[in-house]
Amino acid sequence: MAKRMELKNLNIFYGDFKAVENVSMVIEPRSVTAFIGPSGCGKSTVLRSLDRMLELTSGARVEGQVLLDEQDIYAPRVDPVRVRQQIGMVFQQPNPFPTMSIRDNVLAGIQLNSRRMPKARKDEIVERSLKGANLWNEVKDRLNAPGNGLSGGQQQRLCIARAIAIQPEVLLMDEPCSALDPVSTLAVEDLIHELKENYTVVIVTHNMQQASRVSDKTGFFNIKGTGTPGRLIEFDATEKIFTNPSEQDTERYITGQFG
């Protein structure tokens, strides 16, 4: 669990449009890396390239390398389905399967792989994942109730439980708290903080307090203007980015002097 990732000279296209240009960075294992920057600068695009989900969008194409430990996930013989089993993704809107039980939601990614797993083993995975997502105490007495009977914050933690049930090497989260109230947001932030003991976590957020609270490293992305590609302007320790950034654009963005 918890592998290192390295992005090398990534260019990402949607058809003829170059959305992201020349992004390189190292993402350390057992750490939280935050991506920040204005809307449209390519944060989600880069994130989705890290588990090869991007190519499910027709016309989307990645140039460059993404190493998971030493393996380039874009190498010719690599199976994208296998990559997505090693790297979990949590989305902006909590998306549990609404009519499926809480228990089955946690197992949703597993059951595709091993239909004939013994019940005791499944129970173990459900408990471990829900504990890992800080949700166990709230749901342990109603594991067979439907997933949509939970609050928004609980649903998001259920989605995190589903993502960690497969024991991924890396956990990607695209604005995981933007649909949540402040209390649920803090619960998910606490959880992210704990997850880095076992996982490599990458989170996209618009909330700078959140980036500074939860992340070790921060990447600031920016675009020069509409139609130009997003670029990684600065990537450094979170504390440095938020107190003493090297680039003027970063400074302007974090102090809010920016469109």
User: By rule CB under 6 A, what count of residues binds ligand ATP?
Assistant: 12
Contact range with ligand ATP by CB under 6 A, out of 37-45, 132-140, 184-192, 209-217:
37-45
Residue 205 as a binder of Mg ion (CB under 5 A): the answer is no
Distance CA 126, CA 103 (A): 6
CB 73, CB 5: distance < 8 Å: no
User: By rule CB under 5 A, what count of residues binds Mg ion?
Assistant: 1
Strand 200-204 and strand 32-36: the pairing is parallel
Distance CA 187, CA 88 (A): 19
Residue 44 as a binder of ligand ATP (CB under 6 A): the answer is yes
Both tokens assigned to 116: 């004939």
| Coil, strand or helix at 42 | coil
Residue 33 as a binder of Mg ion (CB under 5 A): the answer is no
Residue 91 as a binder of ligand ATP (CB under 6 A): the answer is no
Q: Which is nearer to Mg ion, 3 or 48 (CB)?
A: 48
Considering only CA atoms, which of 218, 233, 252 is closest in space to residue 36? 218
* Interaction residues for Mg ion, span 39-98 (CB under 5 A): 44
Q: Which is nearer to ligand ATP, 168 or 230 (CB)?
A: 230
Q: How far is the CB of 44 from Mg ion (least distance, A)?
A: 3
CB 221, CB 247: distance < 8 Å: no
DSSP assignments along 159-220, one per residue: HHHHHHHT--SEEEEESTTTTS-HHHHHHHHHHHHHHTTTSEEEEE-S-HHHHHHH-SEEEE
Residue 210 as a binder of ligand ATP (CB under 6 A): the answer is no
Contact range with ligand ATP by CB under 6 A, out of 23-31, 38-46, 128-136, 234-242:
38-46
Q: Which is nearer to ligand ATP, 18 or 103 (CB)?
A: 18
Residue 231 as a binder of ligand ATP (CB under 6 A): the answer is no
Both tokens assigned to 233: 């302007």
Contact range with ligand ATP by CB under 6 A, out of 13-21, 111-119, 153-161, 177-185:
13-21
Both tokens assigned to 29: 């294992």
Q: Which of 57, 243, 244, 246 contacts ligand ATP by CB under 6 A?
A: 57
CB 219, CB 9: distance < 8 Å: no
Q: Which residue ranges make up the site for ligand ATP (CB under 6 A)? A: 14, 17, 19, 39-45, 57, 230
Q: Which residue ranges make up the site for Mg ion (CB under 5 A)? A: 44
